[in-house]
Structure formats: structure tokens, C-alpha cells
Amino acid sequence: MANAQLHYEERGRGLPVVLLHGFPFDHTIWQAQLDRVGEVARVLAPDLPGFGASPLPPPEPVIDDYVAALAHWVDALDLDRFVLVGHSMGGYVALSFARHYMARLAGLGLVCTRPGPDTDQAKENRYSLINEVWDRGAEATVDRMLPNLPAPATQEKHPEIVDQVREIMRRQPTGGIVSALWAMASRPDSTPLLGNITVPTLVVSGADDRMIPQEDADLMAASIPGARQERISSAGHLPMLEQPDALSDLLRDLAHGSRTAPDIPEPPPTQDIAGVRTQR
Ligand code: MLT
């Protein structure tokens, strides 16, 4: 696959912790966590296909195309078992990765994300945004999404964070944005998977998140056996930027808990995606 090699940044040593960004961002959103979590673990933050410097996914992709790219990439890096953390769209990819390759995971972090598929209304919104993005590029995502990303208090007190998010959004390629909108609209329902997650799991929400309702975090935490749930105050949809130390501390704990977890029960057999080699 052309996108076997994702662009990424890496820090530290020890248990690998892979951080997947949300939509429409790139790996730089995790800068603080690369530094802080990188003090206690080997942290790798890739650009998902079509974002940052990573190549585009195939035309009209599905979420499993992003999972396949991730599986190729972790294989190429010889990451046998690792902690996978996904923010929002990155969480959709992480849950689908878990469905196919649970045995590769040492831990799972679900940050401001949800397990369910799009409603019909949400799909319509994505298709109309696709048309706008073809017309106006990334600026259309800035206009549509930025006002709802950081918490109102962040917008008021930290305009520099708003500026940073705008810059990250503006530099994303049109093709990558459109591809991700298309894939998110058809993503599968991961709710039935939740009870089968066999690794230490952290569920994080932002107390002032206006993109993802708190009920989604509550559902995931209640359904995943033994999951730890944390709600970060004074944060909206972007706790990695709005409360970087609080999120980093939680991810450090997750890395520690995943390293020291007793041997987990054998997960269900993996269901390989056609053409994707896995090491286990
Ligand atoms: C994200 O941050 O990845 C998006 O808000 C997810 C979505 O649009 O469903």
C-alpha cells in the first residue's frame, strides 16, 4: 500500500505509546505529550493518512483503510505490543484497530471520542462540509468547527491556543480532509466491541467538550471491563492543548498500568484486513 510509511515524530524509550490525532489535525497537536509522556515511555505520534506529511489514503476510504495504514506502519517499526491512544477521529481508528488486532495492544486510551456511528444528520453535515472543502479548502473546516473546539474559557483566556489550532487546521491538505470526512461518515458501530476489550483502558472527556457528549464517555467507561474514566475540567474538545499536563499525567499512568498489568486473557482471534501482515 502506498501509505505503508506514515510520517511521525518520536520521543523516549520503553513501552511504545502511539498517539493518533483527531480531525482535522496532525501529529503536532500532541507536542506536549510527546515531551511529557516521552520521559517515561517511547511515544510515537504519526500523521494519519492524508494529514500532515503522510500520503493520502485510497479514494473514498473507509476507517479500515486508516487501520490498515496503521498496521503496516507498526509492523514496519517492529512494534509488537503497544499502547494505542486515539483522540476523537483517532479514537474511531483506535477502536477499529482493536477490533482487528486486539493482541497487538498493551493498553488503550480513548480521548474525547465515541463508539457509535454517525446519525443520518451527521452524515449529511459531513457531505455538505465535503462540498465546502472542495470549494474553499481547509478554511471551511476552520469556519465550521473552530468555534466549538476549545472550551469557551480557553477561547477567552488563551487566544494563543485558538491561534495554534487554526494554524494546524489551515495547513491540512484538501484531499486528506475530504477523505477523512468520507471515512468517518461510513464508520462502523464499535459499541458491540466494548465489552470484549481486554487491555487496561483509559477513557477521557473534556468537561466543556461541545463536539462529543459526556454520555459517550460514560457509555465506553461502563462497557469496557475495568476501564478508568477521567473528566478533565477547564477543557473542551482539545485537552492535549487546553490542559496538557493533566492529560499527560493520565497517559503516563496508562503507560505505567499497561506495562505492569498482569497477563491479560487471550483476546479473540484477529481478523486481518486483506493484504495486511501482522506479527502476531
Ligand atoms: C475530531 O475531532 O476528530 C472530530 O470532531 C470527529 C468527528 O467529526 O466526528
> Which among 88, 168, 186 is the best mutation to test ligand 1's pocket, defined by most ligand atoms within 8 Å of the CB?
88
Q: Reduced to 3 states, what is the DSSP secondary structure of residue 86?
A: strand
Average pLDDT over residues 253-259: 95
Point out the ligand 1 atom lying closest to the alpha carbon of residue 22. Answer: 3
Task: Please give the model's pTM, rounded to 2 decimal places.
Answer: 0.94
Mean pLDDT of the chain: 94
Residue in the structure block whose three cell numbers are 465489552: 195
The whole-angstrom separation of Cα 144 and Cα 25 is 14
In a domain, 277, yes or no: no
pLDDT tens readout for residues 74-116: 999 999 999 999 999 999 999 999 999 999 999 999 999 999 9
The alpha carbon of 135 and the centre of ligand 1 are apart by a number of angstroms equal to 21
What pLDDT score does 40 carry? 97
All three cell numbers of 197, joined, read 476489550
Q: Is the pLDDT of residue 266 over 80?
A: no
The whole-angstrom separation of Cα 234 and Cα 242 is 8
**Pocket of ligand 1 from Cβ distances under 6 Å:** 22-23, 88-89, 184, 211
The alpha carbon of 204 and the centre of ligand 1 are apart by a number of angstroms equal to 15
What sign does the CA torsion over 5, 10, 14, 20 have?
negative
Model confidence at 131, in pLDDT bands (50, 70, 90)?
very high
Model confidence at 278, in pLDDT bands (50, 70, 90)?
very low
Point out the ligand 1 atom lying closest to the alpha carbon of residue 112. Answer: 2
Model confidence at 260, in pLDDT bands (50, 70, 90)?
confident
The whole-angstrom separation of Cα 43 and Cα 51 is 19
Point out the ligand 1 atom lying closest to the alpha carbon of residue 184. Answer: 9
Residue in the structure block whose three cell numbers are 483527531: 22
Model confidence at 277, in pLDDT bands (50, 70, 90)?
very low
Point out the ligand 1 atom lying closest to the alpha carbon of residue 212. Answer: 5
pLDDT tens readout for residues 223-234: 999 999 999 999
The whole-angstrom separation of Cα 251 and Cα 72 is 24
What pLDDT score does 215 carry? 98
The alpha carbon of 14 and the centre of ligand 1 are apart by a number of angstroms equal to 30
Residue 223 near residue 195 (C-beta atoms within 8 A): yes
In a domain, 66, yes or no: yes
* CATH code of the domain in which 236 resides: 3.40.50.1820
Q: Is the pLDDT of residue 267 over 90?
A: no
Q: Is the pLDDT of residue 127 over 90?
A: yes
Residue 234 near residue 151 (C-beta atoms within 8 A): yes
The alpha carbon of 7 and the centre of ligand 1 are apart by a number of angstroms equal to 21
In a domain, 247, yes or no: yes
Q: Which residues have a Cβ under 8 Å from the Cβ of 60 and sit 6 or more positions away?
A: 179, 182
Element (H, E) at 46: strand 42-46
All three cell numbers of 173, joined, read 491538505
All three cell numbers of 23, joined, read 480531525
In a domain, 114, yes or no: yes
Average pLDDT over residues 52-61: 97
In a domain, 244, yes or no: yes
The alpha carbon of 211 and the centre of ligand 1 are apart by a number of angstroms equal to 7
In a domain, 143, yes or no: yes
CA distance from start to end of the chain: 20
The alpha carbon of 88 and the centre of ligand 1 are apart by a number of angstroms equal to 5
pLDDT tens readout for residues 14-53: 999 999 999 999 999 999 999 999 999 999 999 999 999 9
Residue 184 near residue 92 (C-beta atoms within 8 A): yes
The alpha carbon of 39 and the centre of ligand 1 are apart by a number of angstroms equal to 29
What domain count does the chain have? 1
Q: Is the pLDDT of residue 279 over 50?
A: no
What pLDDT score does 198 carry? 94
Three-state secondary structure readout of 223-271:
HCCCCEEEEECCCCCCHHHHCHHHHHHHHHHHHHHHHHCCCCCCCCCCC
Rounded percentage of the chain residues whose pLDDT exceeds 70:
92
Residue 78 near residue 42 (C-beta atoms within 8 A): no
**Within 10 Å of residue 62's Cβ, how many Cβ atoms?**
18
Residue located nearest, by CA, to atom 4 of ligand 1: 23
Domain that holds residue 7: 2-260
Cα atoms found within 13 Å of the Cα of residue 48, Cβ hemisphere only: 34
In a domain, 266, yes or no: no
Residue located nearest, by CA, to atom 7 of ligand 1: 89
Q: Is the pLDDT of residue 3 over 70?
A: no
> Which among 19, 23, 169 is the best mutation to test ligand 1's pocket, defined by most ligand atoms within 8 Å of the CB?
23
What pLDDT score does 237 carry? 98
